[in-house]
């Protein structure tokens, strides 16, 4: 019976990492078709192109292979996917009147489920698991930012929940006494890291970089809210 190889390939050695581009024809075809559809259907082609270009880079570049060896690389990939590419794509979409809080709850549930040991292991054992993780995380994050963008005055609860759950997750990763994912017990050693040190690095990335990116998105929403808030009727002039 053949042993399954993760979608991005076997865990790379450090010396070969920069040569490990993922040029899978199905991946490239899917990215191209979705990109073409976006350019045809969306008016804001500049933002869509930026978002979709980043999405493509996250799965084609050596970061994809690195995420098989290092949990910190996987977390870094998810930070860029959900907190950079998703809000840019959300800004390119037509305004959607979605309730922000349910979208935040959906994103939080998916984020915690997919990073739990069992579901995370499943992403390394089948293409279905791998793409279910990334498509659901990216889709739910895009819906969340689209909902908050459409109604920034009603996004406080969603923003608070999202910021809180990301902070709690980051702190748990950083402070955990043992590594959560058995897969990485062997894959991190070639990079001079224990699985626990790699996990702590992932937590620090989520805590610092993820927190900064999320606050940037919230600041952008706040600025949008104040720009769109009517300043009130102009005072009448007396002669």
pLDDT of the chain, 239 residues: tens digit per residue: 467 899 999 999 999 999 999 999 999 999 999 999 999 999 999 999 999 999 999 999 999 999 999 999 999 999 999 999 999 999 999 988 899 999 999 999 999 999 999 999 999 999 999 999 999 999 999 999 999 988 887 888 898 899 999 999 999 999 999 999 999 999 999 999 999 999 999 999 999 988 888 888 777 777 766 766 655 454 555 44
Dihedral, CA atoms, 104, 165, 198, 14, nearest 10 degrees?
A: 20
Are 157 and 98 contacting, i.e. CB atoms less than 8 angstroms apart?
Answer: no
pTM, full prediction: 0.90
Are 43 and 91 contacting, i.e. CB atoms less than 8 angstroms apart?
Answer: no
Concatenated DSSP letters of 144-210: HHHHHHH-GGG-HHHHHHHHHHHHHHHHHHHH-SS-S-TTHHHHTGGGT--HHHHHHHHHHIIIIII
Cα 150 to the center of its chain, rounded Å: 20
Q: Is residue 109 part of a domain?
A: yes
Q: Is residue 214 part of a domain?
A: yes
Are 51 and 88 contacting, i.e. CB atoms less than 8 angstroms apart?
Answer: yes
Task: Give pLDDT, residue 1.
Answer: 46
Q: Is residue 93 part of a domain?
A: yes
Distances from the Cα of 74 to the Cαs of 28, 59, 161, in angstroms?
Answer: 20, 11, 23
Task: Give pLDDT, residue 239.
Answer: 45
Dist CA 209 CA 79 (whole Å) = 8
Q: Is residue 159 part of a domain?
A: yes
**Residue-range definition of the domain harbouring residue 115:** 18-226
Q: Is residue 171 part of a domain?
A: yes
Task: Give pLDDT, residue 30.
Answer: 97
- DSSP E strands in 45-172: the ranges are none
Dist CA 28 CA 56 (whole Å) = 8
Q: Is residue 57 part of a domain?
A: yes
Task: Give pLDDT, residue 2.
Answer: 62
Number of domains in the chain: 1
Dist CA 96 CA 93 (whole Å) = 8
Task: Give pLDDT, residue 193.
Answer: 96
Cα 25 to the center of its chain, rounded Å: 23
Task: Give pLDDT, residue 26.
Answer: 96
Which two structure tokens, joined as six digits, stand for 109? 């549930």
Q: Is residue 9 part of a domain?
A: no
Dist CA 114 CA 110 (whole Å) = 6
Are 44 and 146 contacting, i.e. CB atoms less than 8 angstroms apart?
Answer: no
Q: Is residue 48 part of a domain?
A: yes
């Amino acid at each position: 019976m053949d042993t399954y190889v993760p979608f991005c390939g076997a865990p790379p050695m450090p010396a070969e990492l920069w040569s490990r581009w993922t040029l899978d024809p199905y991946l490239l075809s899917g990215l191209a078709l979705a990109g073409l559809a976006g350019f045809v259907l969306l008016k804001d082609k500049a933002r869509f192109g930026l978002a979709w270009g980043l999405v493509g880079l996250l799965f084609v570049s050596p970061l994809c292979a690195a995420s098989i060896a290092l949990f910190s690389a996987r977390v870094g990939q998810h930070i860029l996917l959900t907190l950079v590419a998703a809000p840019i794509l959300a800004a390119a979409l037509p305004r959607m009147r979605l309730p922000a809080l349910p979208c935040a709850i959906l994103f939080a549930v998916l984020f915690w489920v997919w990073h739990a040991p069992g579901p995370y292991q499943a992403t390394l054992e089948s293409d279905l698991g791998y793409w279910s993780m990334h498509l659901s995380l990216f889709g739910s994050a895009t819906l969340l930012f689209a909902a908050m963008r459409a109604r920034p005055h009603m996004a406080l609860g969603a923003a608070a929940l999202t910021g809180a759950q990301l902070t709690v997750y980051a702190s748990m990763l950083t402070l955990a006494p043992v590594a959560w994912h058995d897969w990485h017990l062997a894959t991190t050693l070639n990079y001079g890291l224990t699985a626990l040190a790699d996990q702590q690095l992932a937590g620090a990335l989520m805590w610092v970089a993820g927190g900064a990116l999320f606050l940037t998105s919230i600041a952008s929403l706040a600025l949008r809210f104040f720009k769109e808030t009517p300043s009130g009727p102009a005072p009448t002039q007396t002669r």
